[in-house]
Amino acid sequence: MRITQGTFSFLPDLSDEQIRRQVEYCLGKGWAIGIEYTDDPHPRNTFWEMFGNPMFDIQDAAGVMLELAACRKTFAQQYIRVTAFDSTHGTESVVMSFIVNRPAQEPGFRLVRSEEGGRTIRYSIESYAVQARPEGTRY
Amino acid sequence: MDKVQSPDTAPRQLFESSGVKALLDQLDAELIGLAPVKGRIRDIAALLLIDRLRQAQGLQSQPPSLHMSFTGNPGTGKTTVAMRMAEVLKQLGYVRKGHLVAVTRDDLVGQFIGHTAPKTREVIKKAMGGVLFIDEAYYLYRPENERDYGQESIEILLQVMENQRDDLVVILAGYKDRMETFFGSNPGMASRIAHHIDFPDYSEAELMQIAQLMLARLNYSFDDGAASTFARYVGLRRRQPHFANARSVRNALDRIRLRHATRLFGSDEALTREQLCTLQAQDILASRVFDPRPEALAAEGGSR
């Protein structure tokens, strides 16, 4: 089950050329690019691990693609995303983030029912991958 | 600059219409002398234009390798030209962004094991799409100290220079004899550098022109007496040790301005615009260079 988190998530996977063009667009707007990875696909997992530092002083997408290639080599079977941070006054937040790498198999989520007092049921979701194995060995 | 050309355009027309002629004329006006450099830039511009015509005919046109090495004495314009080169290559369309990242050994080499590779990669990432200028490149390689990490940095640079030729242009600079030793011990580096450009010392006439250009930019001028005195000054100073070409001229002009200011400082009347702009012979003659006594010239430190 393909997770659909972030920008472009309902489109087929972006090619390297398309990623490069998106990065050029972000750099053109003066946004700082960061690369993050995780193996916990829960939609409320907002804070992924950062790969290296955010790239504030990069002028060209080629530098970012180099960094992305290094991340893909290290974490080939984890989710990797590219984020763009807008630091202008009033915004100061991530304005764009899209997934650029996924594990080969994405098992999806299961519905967890927890019974509270008075036979109330609380529902939540849990990823099969997270349930099955600890961090680092999931995919 | 990326328009597809019709194959019927003559090269000379293309030369003017693409803005390359204006670019080369500007270079001629702003950089004095430096014939080998200007010649090489002209060649690269010509290749660019012919490539466009070839593309119009459907022929292959691969951009050339642009890594360069600038050798020459101090003050001959190596750093200045490297900065201009980034602009020129951007205007010719050979590099994408045209920014310059100027580094020395300290920015590339780390202090402990594992420090060098990330440091060098960060610098390379920043420079992608533009020009990486490595000043005093021979310090990267220290064969006598086996704990030196410069070699690692060189290896990363070599890999990037070969594999990412269209993303990055590397320019090395330094003194001629030491660069030759450096290339001798790093044949991989030498073979990746396509353009070895030597910066000759400036002639006296060129130094005079440079001085005039610097003064014009600062809104000063020599009067006739001052111009001929300065020509004599340059002739004398050149023969003395530690002459750094354009840099020495700039320092001399700064000292002349100081003396000019001191001369005008004690005046009781308001100064005219003419007086504020004009440097006179006496401002130059106060220099020790004109003092015939040998001990005056041999004195340590101090100004000339």
How confident is chain A (139 residues) per 10-residue block, as mean pLDDT? Answer: 91 95 95 95 93 90 94 95 95 95 93 94 94 88
What pLDDT band is residue B42 in, cutting at 50, 70 and 90?
confident
B65 in Cβ contact with B192 (< 8 Å): yes
Q: For residue B145, what pLDDT is reported?
A: 75
Q: How many CB pairs under 8 A join A and B?
A: 37
CA distance B147 to B162: 26
CA distance A52 to A37: 11
What pLDDT band is residue B154 in, cutting at 50, 70 and 90?
very high
Beta carbons of B128 and A67 less than 8 Å apart: no
CA distances from B221 to A77, B257, B263, B274, B280 (A): 69, 11, 16, 10, 9
Instruction: Look at residue B303 and tell me whether its pLDDT is greater than 60.
Output: no
Beta carbons of B168 and A59 less than 8 Å apart: no
A1 in Cβ contact with A108 (< 8 Å): yes
pLDDT tens digits along B62-84? 888 899 999 998 889 888 888 88
What percent of chain B shows pLDDT beyond 70?
94
What pLDDT band is residue B267 in, cutting at 50, 70 and 90?
confident
What pLDDT band is residue B297 in, cutting at 50, 70 and 90?
low
Task: Point out the residue among A59, A66, A67 whose CB comes nearest to the CB of B130.
Answer: A59
Residues of B in contact with A58 (CB under 8 A): 125-126, 128
Beta carbons of A58 and B128 less than 8 Å apart: yes
Q: Which of A23, A33, A51, A59 to mutate to test the interface with B (most CBs of B within 10 A)?
A: A59
Q: For residue B294, what pLDDT is reported?
A: 67
Q: For residue B169, what pLDDT is reported?
A: 94
Interface of B with A (CB under 8 A): 96-97, 99, 121, 124-130, 164, 167-168
Whole-model pTM over 0.80 = yes
Instruction: Look at residue B119 and tell me whether its pLDDT is greater than 80.
Output: yes
Residues of A in contact with B129 (CB under 8 A): 59-63
Instruction: Look at residue B300 and tell me whether its pLDDT is greater than 50.
Output: no
Task: Point out the residue among B99, B121, B129 whose CB comes nearest to the CB of A62.
Answer: B129
What pLDDT band is residue B304 in, cutting at 50, 70 and 90?
low
Mean pLDDT score across all residues of chain B:
87
Residues of A in contact with B131 (CB under 8 A): none
Beta carbons of A58 and B126 less than 8 Å apart: yes
Q: For residue B123, what pLDDT is reported?
A: 94
Q: For residue B295, what pLDDT is reported?
A: 62
Task: Point out the residue among B96, B99, B125 whose CB comes nearest to the CB of A67.
Answer: B125
Q: How confident is the model over B123-141, as a mean pLDDT?
A: 92
- Of B74, B72, B71, B81, the C-alpha closest to B32 is B81
Task: Point out the residue among A55, A59, A64 whose CB comes nearest to the CB of B97.
Answer: A59
B290 DSSP 8-state letter: G
CA distance B135 to B175: 10
Residues of B in contact with A61 (CB under 8 A): 129
- Given phi > 0 = left and psi -120 to 50 = alpha, else beta, which region is B72? left
What pLDDT band is residue B4 in, cutting at 50, 70 and 90?
low
What pLDDT band is residue B290 in, cutting at 50, 70 and 90?
confident
Instruction: Look at residue B185 and tell me whether its pLDDT is greater than 50.
Output: yes
Q: What is the ipTM of this complex?
A: 0.80
Q: For residue B62, what pLDDT is reported?
A: 81
Instruction: Look at residue B299 and tell me whether its pLDDT is greater than 60.
Output: no
| Least confident interval from B24-28, B157-161, B197-201 | B24-28
Residues of A in contact with B127 (CB under 8 A): 63
Q: Looking at CA atoms only, how far is residue B167 from chain A in angstroms?
A: 7
Q: How confident is the model over B249-253, as a mean pLDDT?
A: 94
At B268, list the tokens. 């009781």
Please name the amino acid found at residue B245: N
CA distance A72 to A60: 19
Q: Looking at CA atoms only, how far is residue B114 from chain A in angstroms?
A: 15
Residues of B in contact with A67 (CB under 8 A): 125
- B6 or B126: which leads in pLDDT: B126
Q: Looking at CA atoms only, how far is residue A15 from chain B in angstroms?
A: 19
What pLDDT band is residue B210 in, cutting at 50, 70 and 90?
very high
Residues of A in contact with B128 (CB under 8 A): 58-60, 62-63, 66
Helices (H) and strands (E) in chain A, counts: 3, 6
Residues of A in contact with B167 (CB under 8 A): 60, 62
Q: For residue B94, what pLDDT is reported?
A: 87
Beta carbons of B125 and A61 less than 8 Å apart: no
Q: For residue A94, what pLDDT is reported?
A: 94
Interface of A with B (CB under 8 A): 55, 57-64, 66-67
